[in-house]
Amino acid sequence: MPGEGIDYSALIHEALIGVVREVLCKVAEDGLPGDHHFYLTFKTDHPEVVMPPGLKMRHPETMTIILQHQFWNLSVEERVFGVTLRFGGSKHQLTIPFEALTSFIDPEAEFGLQLGDSSAEEEDEVLGSESGQGHSPGESGPTTGKTGEVISIDEFRKKTE
């Protein structure tokens, strides 16, 4: 196998997704412990994302959802997770492949993972919050007053010239 290297970037990416998968599995089984809640940003244009067409039109590239008080039917599989959230007063099921995730943040634990490219940092809105209402960038959304360190996988990627 001369000329082949070890793709550490892919290994780290899969390990980080494994962390998110394991956390969501525990929450699906036992519920959220204490004041933990999650901000999950994902690429809505990923071909395997399943969401209502109206939401996809409003968020053609990325969206952030919050799993806190009002979420239902959280299910976790090897490649995807599903959850029901309230948008505009109506409940809707989302199915999100782990590969579509760009970030995972648990403000209570001051923990975050950057899973994808940095373009996801410009999300349109934060949706699925504790009140069931979305927050536009100009509005004040849910905050905890805590800041955490986001670990970027880009730090581990091989630099190309």
Average pLDDT value for residue range 75-81: 96
Residue 120 has pLDDT above 70, yes or no: no
More confident site: 148 or 27: 27
Give which of 113, 139, 132 is closest to 67, Cα–Cα.
132
The pLDDT-based confidence of 2 (bands split at 50, 70, 90) is low
Confidence of residue 127 (pLDDT cuts 50, 70, 90): very low
Q: Where does residue 145 rank: exposed (0-12), middle (13-18), buried (19+ CB within 10 A)?
A: exposed
- What is the pLDDT at residue 3? 56
Q: What is the pTM of this model?
A: 0.71
From the candidate CATH numbers 2.30.30.220, 3.30.420.40, 3.10.20.30, 3.40.50.10190, the one assigned to the domain spanning 8-138+146-156: 2.30.30.220
Provide the 10 A C-beta neighbour count for residue 124.
16
pLDDT value for 116: 73
Closest CA relative to residue 83, chosen from 132, 99, 74: 74
